[in-house]
A and B are shown apart, each in its own frame.
Chain A
């Protein structure tokens, strides 16, 4: 491309960039360069025609009373969200929670609901909002969380043969308990292809653990940006357990 062409095209692009002042392309048609360059002339004509076509598209027709309807629906949606949370909490409360993860998750739910997140949780929410496009709970979240727990457990055992800290032991115990629960009812719920990560786990104990995580799975807020405010209410070890699952896909966007 000749130097003149390049500068003409640069002028054309910047005219297209700021289309507010009158008809910017019009002024370009007097450009001297066009007298001797058929190519740039053709380009300008084609861009002008495209502008005409784009401008000829009818503006989208707005539904009547759009804003009023959106407002009304927003209010309903917020109420429905509250109701769903109430129902889930109630349902969860009816099940006897085993000591450990699920009980603390429920406590987390309650306190997340009772007090709006602040400070550090806010910062985490902001970071999450950046990352999350529309957050969706993947199918079988609970299973995948537990599969990760199992993997992590195997890894930790290799990395750290001696657990000095009680909290680490406690987290692993919770993971183990969860894995037991999953193992107990796995064949009935899951296709064989997904059992890969759990093959080494021993036989099961507690299926209620799974139900609690299922509660979470269905929990409206988990699909939303409030996930982090829930997480921030939990002890760090439990956060890790849940985050392992969420890294897997809950926050994918």
Chain B
């Protein structure tokens, strides 16, 4: 069956794999796991189980082997799975924390933990100045506070350079809705990072 996405390398590997070429799946994982990992890191912060989540994303691909039909670029399909898994992961985290609070835990535990996950920056930018680390940390924390759909829309537009129509496919919404999500995300960031932005402008 032909489709307009047949030129997409991911779609071609998927087709080859469906046709019995087991190596094609390895090629898919080789080519796309870094992208998925990076997206999950930007979306969820430095949490420890990102590699598990990458595995989970590809496990879904394995299970979709027989019935996969390209209706978008392969990366769009993959990002959509990654987004759904991430949102679930966040909700599980919230449920866990809620349980902990009920058991007499610290009500602030969740927000401090979430922020801490966005903080491990020194390991990523060795040699960077301390001041720069603070900036990075603050920007990441501001991104982390965005609602999930706005956050993902912004990250996909900014770092994956996805057009709004494709972001719409990832998030299961319209291009117009994505436009407004990105708009609101930037508005919130400009507000919460106002002090930093002024320094940057100066």
B179 at the interface (CB under 8 A from A): yes
A164 interface residue (CB < 8 Å to B)? no
Binary flags per residue of A201-226, CB closer than 8 Å to B gives 1, else 0: 00000000000000000000000111
B164 near A66 with CB under 8 A, answer: no
Q: Is the CB of B182 within 8 A of A62?
A: no
Let me know if A56 and B189 touch, CB within 8 A: no
Contacts of B26 in A (CB 8 A): 67, 71
> Are B124 and A49 in contact, with the CB atoms below 8 A?
no
The answer for the CA separation of A20 and B162 in the assembled complex, in Å, is 10
- Least distance between A232 CB and chain B CB atoms (Å): 13
Task: Check A40 for interface membership: any CB of B closer than 8 A.
Answer: no
What are 16 A-B interface contacts by the 8 Å CB criterion?
A: A17-B163, A17-B179, A46-B201, A50-B197, A54-B139, A57-B136, A58-B121, A59-B38, A60-B38, A60-B124, A61-B123, A67-B26, A74-B29, A125-B67, A224-B63, A225-B63
A50-B190, A126-B67, A226-B63 given; A70·B197 CB < 8 A: no
List 4 tightest A-B contacts by C-beta distance, closest first.
A60-B41, A49-B200, A134-B88, A133-B84
Contact A67:B30 (CB < 8 A) given known A54-B158, A59-B38 = yes
**Residue A13 is within 8 A (CB to CB) of chain B in the complex:** yes
- Distance, CA A46 to CA B193, complexed state (A): 10
Number of A-B contacts (CB under 8 A): 116
Give residues in A with beta carbon < 8 Å to B.
13, 16-20, 45-50, 52-54, 56-63, 66-67, 69-71, 73-74, 77-78, 116, 122, 125-126, 129, 133-134, 136, 224-226, 253
List B contacts of A116 (CB < 8 A): 66
Q: What residues of chain A lie closer than 8 Å to B140, measured between beta carbons?
A: 57
**Contact A134 B84, beta carbon cutoff 8 Å:** yes
